[in-house]
Amino acid sequence: MSQATGVSAKFDLSAYLKERQQWIEEALSAAIPVRYPERIYEAMRYSLLGSGKRLRPILCLASCELAGGTVEMAMPTACALEMVHTMSLIHDDLPAMDNDDYRRGRLTNHKIYGEAIAILSGDGLLAYAFEWLVRQTRGVPAEAVLEVVARLGHAVAATGLVGGQVVDLESEGKTDVSLETLHFIHTHKTGALLEISVVSGAILAGAGQDLIEALTDYAQKIGLAFQIVDDILDITGTTEELGKTTGKDQKARKVTYPSLWGLEESRRQAEQLVYEAKNRLDPWGDKAIPLQALADFIVARTH
Ligand code: GRG
């Protein structure tokens, strides 16, 4: 029997997530103390320390450990990934983008601090993420840190998140968006950052090419599954559960995976992707269990 079908049941994912979420939150809070000019630091901390799942930093720490590295080696990169993710949420919520009032269970950054400070707090987090990972990473060869910096830049630039967001904005109001375009949007908007989150941990630990390739495949599959589940939750979840406005896709008649495939087939596709992602890591035995359990979490999550 493939390990992907059973072994992660023995693993206490909820304790694992709780412990790591706490480490990450402490590290993030220490990374950005409030100093002059206080308003911008308060705005950055408001969004950064909101109730996120910390999935990207947790994936980074887990892949570093799978590759034989330590949590300490990967923590600065893990924090940088959460800073970049948070900045993308702040900018995504702006009136010029998705125009949302709620995120992570509370009012969005611009609703509290105004648009100018929200834009600047996103900019501040993005730039600081790179400084933090370069200055704070210890016990890792400089070439590996440089490779992570280059790949993170690639994941957020027009080759990644920015490109995905542009095609998403251009697709607004269109009902004839193809599966290929939808795929482009999500592999860039959501997938690119999840991929670097997984791969960066392994690069920092000095992983070989076969592991990097397996983790890349794993990450691409869970990235797509994550987005399919996100689209499903927008239909089936409540605003209280998700901490953000739900039902927005249907209201805007947005083309999504459930709108193209239906809910049942979307769920089936997400489960199949997660199954394949877990199988890809089977050769690494017990060391792969946390990443396999995290893949399960992506389809089982309710927020
Ligand atoms: C990165 C330079 C730069 C600009 C940003 C706005 C933008 C360009 C891109 C949008 C990216 C975006 C918001 C994608 C959606 C990703 C997604 C599904 C977010 C929800 O992630 P969760 O569920 O959230 O992990 P939590 O709150 O748990 O962290």
**Ligand 1 in reach of 161 Cβ (< 6 A):** yes
Q: Is the pLDDT of residue 301 over 90?
A: no
Tokens at 284, concatenated: 């690494």
**Ligand 1 in reach of 177 Cβ (< 6 A):** no
Residue 55 Cα: closest atom of ligand 1: 25
Average pLDDT on 204-230 reads 97
Tokens at 132, concatenated: 């933090």
Residue 227 Cα: closest atom of ligand 1: 18
Residue 190 Cα: closest atom of ligand 1: 16
* Cα 190 to ligand 1 centre (Å): 7
Average pLDDT on 223-227 reads 96
b/e for 221-238, b at 16 or more Cβ within 10 A?
A: bbbbbbbbbbbbbbeebe
**Ligand 1 in reach of 55 Cβ (< 6 A):** yes
Q: How far apart are alpha carbons 124 and 41 in whole angstroms?
A: 9
Name the band, by pLDDT with cuts 50, 70 and 90, for residue 3. Answer: very low
Q: Name which of 217, 193, 188 is nearest 60 in CA terms.
A: 193
Domain map of the chain by residue range?
Answer: 13-300
Tokens at 142, concatenated: 């400089």
What tens digit of pLDDT does each residue of 49-76 get? 988 999 999 999 999 999 999 999 999 9
- In the CATH scheme, what is the code of domain 13-300? 1.10.600.10
Atom 7 of ligand 1, residue of closest alpha carbon:
88
Record the pTM. 0.95
Residue 89 Cα: closest atom of ligand 1: 13
40 phi and psi angles, rounded to 5 deg? -70, -40
CA-to-CA separations, 36 to 33, 44, 49, 131, 290, in angstroms, rounded: 10, 13, 19, 19, 40
